[in-house]
A and B are shown apart, each in its own frame.
Chain A
Amino acid sequence: DAGVIQSPRHEVTEMGQEVTLRCKPISGHDYLFWYRQTMMRGLELLIYFNNNVPIDDSGMPEDRFSAKMPNASFSTLKIQPSEPRDSAVYFCASWTRGLAKNIQYFGAGTRLSVL
């Protein structure tokens, strides 16, 4: 398996624009997580899904952020409108309860810069 795949790797946009980040989890993993990492706040869990259903979105900062998982192999995190304070690295991770090690696997991240 190619691991968790995120796109794009880098995104530069202007304030007010819509940004969509994409994630393909590892095949067979039934949990998907979105994290945000900044120098100030570290690695924060934004939202996670189980079997495509959002379970906990308490970490989503505000209504400008939304996440969807239309099927088991794809998820998006959307920011509309984007603001400079949204600049961060966004990681997607996937996991399944069924494996003995119960390891969370992370993607390479999307570095977002909002100008």
Chain B
Amino acid sequence: DAKTTQPPSMDCAEGRAANLPCNHSTISGNEYVYWYRQIHSQGPQYIIHGLKNNETNEMASLIITEDRKSSTLILPHATLRDTAVYYCIVRVAPYNTNAGKSTFGDGTTLTVKP
């Protein structure tokens, strides 16, 4: 799996958009970008994933650069409950033998402040 680089921590004001960057410059053509978050002491929770197109769901938006070497997770209106560690992961396509295997880095600790 490609290595990812994330800032160790970020702050965001409640109600504002939180933009979390991730660098994955060695990503391969068949690797997807996944984002998970881990709220204190809980198991990691899936947020969103994409290959090369921008994606949006009820939780967040994912913007992937055209060269796919970096991405940004956007929480449009951050709340206090969004305070968590956010992990950016790259993983091979589902049809690959090692598709399920994920390597988690250190993630970004997002603190949403009132």
Contact = CB atoms under 8 A, between A and B. Distances in A.
Interface of A: 4, 31, 33, 35, 42-45, 48, 50, 56, 89, 91, 93, 95, 97, 101-109, 111
B32 to A, nearest CB: 8
Interface of B: 32, 36, 41-46, 49, 87, 94-95, 98-107
A107 B43 contact: yes
A101 B32 CA distance: 11
A80 B95 CA distance: 36
A21 to B, nearest CB: 14
B106 A42 contact: yes
What are the 3 A-B residue pairs with the smallest beta carbon separation, nearest first?
Answer: A106-B43, A43-B104, A103-B46
B59 to A, nearest CB: 12
A33 B100 contact: yes
Given A31-B100, A56-B101, A106 B45 contact: yes
A113 B104 CA distance: 23
Nearest to B95: A97
Given A91-B43, A91-B44, A102-B94, 15 more contacts: A31-B100, A43-B87, A56-B98, A93-B44, A95-B100, A97-B94, A97-B100, A101-B46, A104-B102, A107-B43, A108-B42, A108-B43, A109-B41, A109-B43, A111-B41
Given A97-B94, A97-B95, A102-B94, A48 B101 contact: yes
